[in-house]
A and B are shown apart, each in its own frame.
Chain A
């Protein structure tokens, strides 16, 4: 549960909001939509950073696995050969077999689907709800801003994991419910960043200009404010992605995810705990998959946040 870490690292809203690092002139240096990405430059950028390249490769593989697990393994994740249980990693079973003789690699690959789905839902909930709150607060201002931001402060004061656990208690178990619980727990950081961005853009010259020209509020919001404010929120979403994978897998590790035999990543490790003394691969290797995925998304998020924009 370390989503606040991302705030502290790159987007501490208190610092980021009034900070000078972000362009405020709105003349097109912001990562606005419709901006063509130069493929050659992107490649060059990547090649100079082998770590980043590796991260992209890892993420692509994980995403592929979650949509087309058949590309990576032909073994059944739910049914194994019970007589072949507890085989260590080998050519036939890259990650070994579990207590019922199921192929662990296949379970990790198929588990990507569940865990990534949960993560996407969590990030989407945080992005949509948090973004909406932030935009409303920033755009409307006055007492609405005050009320909404006080609520956000309160959400921030409850440790994220506790908030998620309270939601799980109220909603019940399951992949989607866990995902929603994790998403709501990070709504607050999204709201803050979105609000700060909207405030920043709103005060920018070109918005003032279009307002004084008599543009309607919604056209100002849609044409100018949202596109220019979206960048940092999208970056936060990528950063939140890694944190959400960790949070979702922690909750499924605690046993609040999908019931067996569903191979959620956290569940795999939690099941493997029973065999810690005789089959290390049941905990070590699925954990490696989680760590690699989170590391990769965090690296990419950092690149999006700093290095790439600085390069331009």
Chain B
């Protein structure tokens, strides 16, 4: 077990390092001249005179060879220093840390809603014996993944904020203000949970142990929940990492729609301002969320299903 944990941790670190490298390649290497981009985006950089450019170039180390720059940046990034935001001058790390709680609240609520709604839908659809109801329920997830989230958010605002006045249209005001954004964010994710879970539930219901349980005289509801769902949710767990990453990324759109403070809005503003250090911080942070979630799942998984350690090598490539 200990070796397993150490191996997982090493893999996670490896993925993070690689994600950082990707962001370095895309953001620092790809633009013809990041310094000019920064100089024109920065606030007190006024006239873009050659001297200033040279100074900036030196300050950011762009006058060094790419590999030296890379090593330099990586060294700082490992210590949690992603540099300062070009637009605000504040350190990237603290900018992200300040915005994070709001976004975690939002994505946490959305994940909860997604699992409840999506899971509930999958259970109901596979449990019901009425054909039309099953058809109807199973037609909802494809709908959920096809509607643009920003559109759903705006329709909800129109209906529940402006017409019915039940919830605020924007902002971070308490639980009330969380309802509409979390629901908006939960719809596509919940639909995916429903799709995955419904599929594995149907598979599980065909398995021998379900037959056995039935034969032993367990009630239909009991078999459905105790036996089938428990086993069906294990494979569904593996996509949670993907979904959490998606939720955090989805906050860019949802926080913009609801003018909510948080990581997503910081990201949108950073992209608009071509704030390269900040965008880089966000990208690596996204990977960190994904890796951490998967790490937690990987570590919890063997506890839920001891068989998994044997098969761990194939799944390793996901971490």
Contacts and interface: CB of A to CB of B under 8 A. Distances in A.
B145 A5 contact: yes
A8 B22 contact: no
A299 B267 CA distance: 33
A255 B150 CA distance: 13
A160 B249 CA distance: 8
B31 A170 contact: yes
A276 B31 contact: no
A47 B183 CA distance: 36
A159 B248 contact: yes
Contacts of B31: 170-171
Contacts of B291: 157
Nearest to A294: B146
Interface residues of A, number: 56
Contacts of A8: 192, 195-196, 239, 242
Interface in B115-135: none
B162 A149 contact: no
Contacts of A302: 142
Contacts of A161: 246, 249-250, 252-253
A281 to B, nearest CB: 11
B195 A291 contact: no
A273 B257 CA distance: 9
Given A2-B192, A165-B279, A284-B155, A158 B148 contact: no
Interface string B207-219: 0000000000000
A161 B274 CA distance: 16
Interface in A226-258: 242, 246, 249-250, 253-256
B30 A170 contact: yes
Interface in B212-261: 238-239, 242, 245-246, 248-250, 252-253, 256
B166 interface: no
A169 B154 contact: no
B22 A283 contact: no
A273 B68 CA distance: 46
A285 B95 CA distance: 37
A1 interface: yes
Contacts of B195: 5, 8-9
Contacts of B150: 250, 253, 266, 269-270
B196 A9 contact: yes
Nearest to B142: A298
A277 B192 contact: no
B318 A165 contact: no
Given A155-B22, A157-B15, A283-B158, A170 B27 contact: yes
A1 B246 contact: yes
B23 interface: yes
B26 A254 contact: no
Given A2-B192, A162-B286, A250 B253 contact: yes
Given A166-B27, A253-B148, A269-B151, A154 B267 contact: no
B171 to A, nearest CB: 15
A156 B290 CA distance: 9
A64 interface: no
B35 interface: no
A219 B148 CA distance: 44
A151 B14 CA distance: 11
Interface in A280-295: 280, 283-284, 287, 290-291, 294-295
B305 to A, nearest CB: 16
14 contacts: A1-B249, A2-B188, A14-B314, A150-B18, A157-B18, A157-B287, A162-B283, A166-B280, A169-B276, A246-B146, A254-B268, A269-B150, A298-B142, A299-B142
Smallest CB-CB A-B distances: 3 pairs: A287-B151, A159-B249, A161-B249
